[in-house]
Amino acid sequence: MDVWAERKSSVQKWASTEVQFMELWKNLYQKLNKDEVEWVAAVMRGVWLRRNTFLFEKKFGSPSAVVKQAEATLEEFQLAQRGDQKGKGCPAAGRRVKWKAPGDEVVKVNWDAGVNLKEERTGIGVVVRDDKGEVLVALCSSRGVCCSPVVAELHALWRAMKLCAELNFEKVIFEGDSLIAVKAVNSEKENWE
């Protein structure tokens, strides 16, 4: 409640009873405009991250810090949506990158990995969408650190492929942002990574 009271918001006076998330989300979409929904989503993410920081690092951030971070994240998101990132090192700077549908009865699988050397952790994410762009499956996984970011990317791709096999998806397009991993998989030469 302290976080929501930090800034005059449209949800500040809403009841704090427990409801299913989808019901809450439906209410947000019905009663708030697009900018307000984006702000609420950014603050929700901030609350979740504060919870995780408290659980895993035993640090408790102030409500004002949650709101400030959420507003900074929201501003970055809005800049990215407008394509205002010229000169910021973004590969898609100055152009809109839009998800493209794979075609009838084909699923598109996006995969990615990240390595945190300080925490000695590797995280992977996989999202499977249908030909209309609807999310069918989302997977995230964490494990101990591996020897290189390329190996982490290859592990993420392997996990995405395994997930598709488990779910019997036969017509699949895999899409990832690691050029080294994509070239290694598409090459006919052996790659021991």
Indicate whether 78 and 19 sit together in one domain.
Answer: yes
Contact 30, 37 (CB under 8 A): no
Residue with tokens 């650190």: 145
Residue 35 placed within a domain: yes
Range of the domain at 118: 107-186
Q: Could you tell me if 66 and 53 are in contact, meaning their C-beta atoms sit under 8 angstroms apart?
A: no
The distance from CA 17 to its chain's CA centroid, rounded to whole angstroms, is: 28
Classify residue 59: in a domain, yes or no.
yes
Q: What is the mean pLDDT of the chain?
A: 79
Same domain, 163 and 120: yes
Do 118 and 73 have their domain in common?
Answer: no
Q: Are residues 135 and 64 in the same domain?
A: no
Whether residue 2 is predicted with pLDDT greater than 70 in this model: the reply is no
In a domain? residue 96: no
Quote the pLDDT of residue 97.
59
Per-residue confidence (pLDDT) for residue 89, from 0 to 100: 46
Looking at 66, 82, 98, the residue that finishes a domain is 82
Out of 82, 98, 131, a domain closes at 82
Q: Side by side, which strands form the sheet with 107-116?
A: 135-144, 121-129, 107-116, 172-176
Alpha helices, DSSP H, located in the chain: 2-5, 21-31, 34-57, 63-82, 149-166, 179-186
135 in a domain, yes or no? Answer: yes
CATH number at residue 142: 3.30.420.10
Number of domains composing the chain? 2
Give the number of other Cβ atoms within 10 Å of residue 178's Cβ.
19
Residue 27 covered by a domain: yes
72 and 122 part of one domain: no
Domain end: 19, 49, 82, which one?
82
State mean pLDDT over 54-74.
80
Least confident of 1-5, 51-55, 122-126, 129-133: 1-5
Burial-class residue 30 by CB neighbours within 10 Å (0-12, 13-18, 19+): exposed
Taking the model in full, what pTM does it have?
0.49
Same domain, 56 and 116: no
Tell whether 8 and 65 lie within a shared domain: yes
* The two structure tokens encoding residue 167: 């779910």
pLDDT digits (tens, 9 = 90+) for 118-137: 777 888 999 999 888 888 89
DSSP conformation class of 59 = -
Q: Does 6 lie in the same domain as 77?
A: yes
Name the burial class of residue 89, with classes exposed (0-12), middle (13-18) and buried (19+) by CB atoms within 10 angstroms of its CB: exposed
User: Apex CA 62: angle with CA 61 and CA 64, to 5°?
Assistant: 130
Domain annotation covers residue 99: no
**52 in a structural domain:** yes
Same domain, 57 and 10: yes
In a domain, 68, yes or no: yes
For residue 153, give the nearest of 181, 119, 188, 121 by alpha carbon: 181
Could you tell me which residues are beta bridge partners of residue 111?
Answer: 126, 176
Closest CA to 155 of 126, 127, 131: 126
What pLDDT, on a 0 to 100 scale, did the predictor assign at position 108?
Answer: 92
pLDDT in tens, 10-37: 666 566 677 787 887 787 888 888 888 8
Instruction: Express each pLDDT in 134-184 by its tens digit.
Output: 888 999 888 877 767 888 888 899 999 999 999 999 899 998 888 887 887
Confidence of residue 83 (pLDDT cuts 50, 70, 90): low
